[in-house]
Amino acid sequence: MKIAVFNTKSYDQDYFENYNKNYHFDFTFLESALNEKTAQITSGFDAVCVFVNDVVNKETIKILAENGIRLIALRCAGYNNVDLEAAREAHIKVVRVPAYSPEAVAEHAMALILTLNRKTHKAYNRVREGNFSLKNLIGFNIHGKTLGVIGTGQIGAAFCHVAQGFGVQILAFDINENQALKDLGVTFVSLKELFKKSDIISLHCPLNVHTKHIINKSSIAEMKEGVMIINTSRGALIDTNDVIDGLINNKIGYLGIDVYEQEENLFFEDHSEHIIKDETILRLMSFPNVLITSHQAFFTQEAMDKITTTTLDNIKSFKEGAVLKNEVKT
């Protein structure tokens, strides 16, 4: 099979080439993102491999189908960037990596919490400059605080296990309550109660019509003064402008994000020698109590191993006509 891999970074190519020794697929690695403007590149290929910021909408899928593409292989868990109905109508299968390393994302979420709270990033920079002052570096004990977890799938559950070691009270919200987490001591509550009682809120839910902008002006108004909000899931779970308002009026005391609603035009690339034209991200970056990482929560050796092998296994199953256990359906 000939597969076009879009949005390729050097590490993607290294992992795929290493593991492909056992699969013998014909990969072409492309730096460009897949969208309706670049989809014509796929002529002569059998499948495309895409990532979170590729735009696989109806228009893109139409071109893919015309070019003979039969499989869209996502090398990620989320699939909100794919028009599944259009893919079904075009008879193109869609597969994903449902779980790679929940612990990777969970641990990064906790890293954001600890860094924001204890300001270790600022302390590091100070000491490097010979400044050993503790002024404005004061934090708070996480022990004894109430932690709200929205979404208790594999990543949310892993986060609860990590957080439990800090001696917090864990409140959770999910449409499907997790009995194993209940047995662990996690209390499932309504979303409104979670907003009202949590000192820290961490988002671990998928992006869909029900969760888009789940953090907005209305929900922020229900939260505690000085609440900490962490998002390592999908950028559009947060209404960025409403969060900025919350930061300005001190309702939100801390914000840690590894994802951003407009990240497809920004993340994963080096913009250090260019003027960033996204005024919203620049505004966020100006706040001293905001910490932004560039969608790196997943980025561990273990996660990359799993992402690569699962993607290759998905393609192999399709090639052999086997059951696609990781198929995404409408």
Strand order in the sheet with 290-292: 187-188, 169-173, 146-150, 200-203, 227-231, 252-257, 290-292
Of residues 295, 302, 320, 327, which has the active-site annotation? 295
For residue 15, what are the contacts with CB-CB under 8 A and spacing of at least 6?
A: 304, 305, 307, 308
Q: Are strands 290-292 and 252-257 parallel, antiparallel or unpaired?
A: parallel
Q: Could you confirm whether 234 is annotated as catalytic?
A: yes
Q: At what angle do helices 301-320 and 10-19 cross, to 10 degrees?
A: 60
> How distant, in Å, are the alpha carbons of 100, 118, 200, 298 from that of 115?
25, 5, 13, 18
Q: Are strands 290-292 and 2-5 parallel, antiparallel or unpaired?
A: unpaired
> In the Cβ-directed half-sphere of 211, how many Cα atoms lie within 13 Å?
18
Structure tokens at 74: 């996502």
Return d(Cα 259, Cα 105) in angstroms, integer. Answer: 12
Contact between residue 189 and residue 171 where contact means Cβ atoms under 8 Å apart: yes
- Is-catalytic flag, 283? no
213 is catalytic: no
Distance CA 48, CA 268 (A): 20
Nearest CA-CA partner of 235 in 176, 181, 288, 278: 278
Of residues 75, 96, 263, 264, which has the active-site annotation?
263
Candidates 96, 108, 213, 234; catalytic one: 234
Between CA 225 and CA 214 the distance in angstroms is 18
Active site residues: 234, 263, 295
